[in-house]
């Protein structure tokens, strides 16, 4: 252990940021010989003591002896965290593991707090890499600890939230124009991205909105100045936030940026982006190729697209219902409802196309509404209420027909209102009069891509 302390001391004396960061990481091999070995030896040493806290204090004392100075506490707590984590790995899932994780998290956040004191006192920026490491580790640990405790437990995440907020404040301190201050501020987006992860896990929309607001303040550096990977992550989360806020066109732009700038090797990330981007791109008439979908194994989205294209609202609804959990988890629930409108538009367009193919020239633009009745009946959205209430529609044929016509007219009037259809209806003659040119404008025109 003193060897570790010495290495750390050397790095600190040199003010070697990256090296210090590496030494204080929780899951990388900071030592030659492999991380598992490190874990075991630390764990063995920890077991010689009464408790993890005891071990922390003892290691701190050792570190002091080696001349680590102010960083000794940090060193001690870090080692104790490593030990507790190792112990947690050894346990099976259950109260024992939960307890060890709790301890590990507690120690780690204490270490983090100590680190923040040192950071503030130091004032310069050589510790930024270490800060980033600690942020990442704290959050991962919090997520694990919370998930082990129970599905809805969020205490650790909340703690992380306050730590991150302190971090953020710290990075904005210091005189504005110095190099050091600049470097500190450049950690900002990294912190923001992690805060996004935490806030999404905590399901707090307001906190996310505040984040975006603070990024857009003039005191925050320009987004383009940050590394591209951080920008991608930021736009991804911002896009998700916009979906939740029902701002689909803006969301599309953010997510498209994220996809465009995410390198092809990062398959997992690209897949995540696509899962949001594809459904909302369909409003703009933009559909990804089958090849793309296959490549990222999002087959269910290709079914979605097919039903929308064919105007089969019935099948579309069934699919959405089926995957409901999945869509709600991503906040796409409301957005998908809009897809049904597009599907209806396609349904009506297909009927019109058939009609116009065999209609006389004079009559081409005048479509009897009757033609829509049957297709609508076949492909319309099923009514979940009807199933629940066993509403046997044993109406006389005439009644049902006029009811159907009411619904058709309603859908049509909305399609016209939303400019999906160019034309008008004559209620008396029960006819749809279409514009001779482009009665069904392209979707990219109706929902323009550039906001």
Partner 1 sequence: MRASARERAARAARFAAPAPCDGGPAALSASPSAVKAARRAALKRKRRGSSDLEDTATHYGHCEHLEKTYLRLTGAVDWSKIRPPRVLKESLEMVKQRWKKEKDYNFASSQLKSIRQDLTVQRCAENERWLLLCIQVYETNARISLESADLEEMHQCLSVLDDLHAHGEKCTRDREVCIQFRDEFAAYRVLHAIHAENTFFLNTARDLAARSRQSIALAHAFAVLAAVRRNAYVRFFELHESAPNMSGFLMDHMLQRVRRNAFQALLKSSYPELDLKIVQEQLRFHDGRQRAEGDMRKFLDRYELEYVYIKSRKGKRFPRAINVQALKKGSSSSSTKTR
**225 to 244, contacts with partner 1 by CB under 8 A?**
243-244
Among 154, 310, 338, 356, binds partner 1 (CB under 8 A): 338
Please, what is the Cα angle at 360 between 359 and 363, to 5 degrees? Answer: 85
Q: Which CB sits closer to partner 1, 143 or 416?
A: 416
Contact 23, 30 (CB under 8 A): yes
Binding flags for partner 1, 389-418, as an x/- string (CB under 8 A)? x----------------xx-xxxxxx-xxx
CB of 419 vs partner 1, minimal distance in Å = 9
Binding flags for partner 1, 357-396, as an x/- string (CB under 8 A)? --------------------------xxx--xx-------
Q: Which CB sits closer to partner 1, 270 or 345?
A: 345
Among 223, 400, 424, 448, binds partner 1 (CB under 8 A): 424
Among 328, 354, 400, 445, binds partner 1 (CB under 8 A): 328
Residues in Cβ contact with 152 at an 8 Å cutoff, skipping those fewer than 6 apart: none
Among 225, 246, 370, 430, binds partner 1 (CB under 8 A): 246
Q: Which CB sits closer to partner 1, 91 or 207?
A: 207
CB of 231 vs partner 1, minimal distance in Å = 25
Binding piece for partner 1, criterion CB under 8 A, among 21-29, 78-86, 163-171, 419-427? 419-427
Residues 58, 64: Cα–Cα separation, whole Å? 10
**186 to 215, contacts with partner 1 by CB under 8 A?**
203, 205
CB of 23 vs partner 1, minimal distance in Å = 41
Residues 10, 14: Cα–Cα separation, whole Å? 6
Residue ranges that bind partner 1, judged by CB under 8 A: 203, 205, 243-246, 324-325, 328-329, 331-334, 337-338, 340-341, 383-385, 388-389, 406-407, 409-414, 416-418, 424-428, 433
């Amino acid at each position: 252990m003193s060897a570790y302390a010495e290495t750390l001391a050397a790095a600190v004396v040199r003010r070697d940021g990256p090296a210090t960061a590496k030494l204080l990481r929780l899951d990388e091999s900071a030592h030659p010989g492999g991380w598992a070995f490190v874990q075991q030896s630390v764990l063995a040493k920890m077991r010689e003591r009464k408790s993890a806290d005891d071990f922390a204090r003892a290691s701190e004392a050792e570190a002091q002896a080696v001349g680590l100075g102010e960083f000794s506490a940090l060193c001690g707590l870090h080692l104790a965290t490593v030990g507790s984590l190792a112990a947690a790995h050894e346990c099976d899932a259950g109260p024992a593991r939960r307890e060890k994780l709790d301890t590990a998290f507690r120690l780690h956040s204490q270490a983090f707090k100590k680190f923040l004191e040192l950071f503030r006192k130091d004032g310069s920026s050589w510790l930024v890499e270490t800060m980033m490491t600690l942020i990442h580790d704290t959050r991962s640990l919090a997520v694990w600890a919370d998930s082990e405790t129970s599905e809805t437990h969020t205490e650790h995440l909340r703690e992380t939230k306050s730590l991150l907020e302190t971090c953020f404040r710290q990075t904005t301190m210091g005189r504005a124009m110095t190099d050091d201050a600049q470097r500190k501020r450049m950690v900002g987006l990294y912190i923001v991205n992690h805060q996004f992860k935490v806030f999404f896990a905590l399901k707090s929309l307001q906190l996310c909105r505040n984040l975006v607001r603070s990024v857009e303040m003039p005191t925050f550096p320009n987004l383009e100045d940050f590394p591209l990977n951080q920008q991608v992550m930021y736009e991804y989360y911002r896009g998700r936030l916009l979906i939740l806020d029902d701002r689909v066109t803006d969301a599309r732009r953010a997510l498209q940026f994220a996809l465009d700038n995410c390198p092809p090797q990062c398959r997992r990330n690209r897949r995540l982006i696509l899962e949001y981007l594809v459904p909302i791109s369909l409003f703009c008439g933009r559909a990804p190729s089958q090849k793309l979908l296959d490549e990222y194994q999002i087959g269910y989205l290709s079914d979605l697209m097919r039903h929308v294209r064919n105007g089969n609202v019935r099948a579309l609804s069934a699919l959405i219902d089926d995957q409901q959990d999945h869509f709600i988890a991503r906040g796409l629930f409301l957005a998908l409802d809009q897809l049904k409108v597009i599907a209806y538009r396609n349904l009506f367009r297909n009927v019109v196309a058939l009609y116009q193919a065999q209609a006389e020239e004079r009559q081409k633009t005048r479509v009897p509404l009757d033609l829509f009745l049957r297709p609508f009946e076949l492909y319309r959205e099923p009514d979940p209420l009807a199933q629940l209430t066993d509403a046997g529609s044993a109406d006389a044929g005439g009644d049902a027909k006029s009811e159907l016509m009411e619904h058709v007219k309603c859908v049509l009037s909305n399609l016209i209102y939303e400019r999906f259809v160019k034309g008008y209806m004559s209620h008396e003659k029960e006819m749809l009069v279409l514009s001779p040119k482009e009665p069904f404008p392209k979707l990219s025109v109706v929902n323009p891509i550039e906001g």
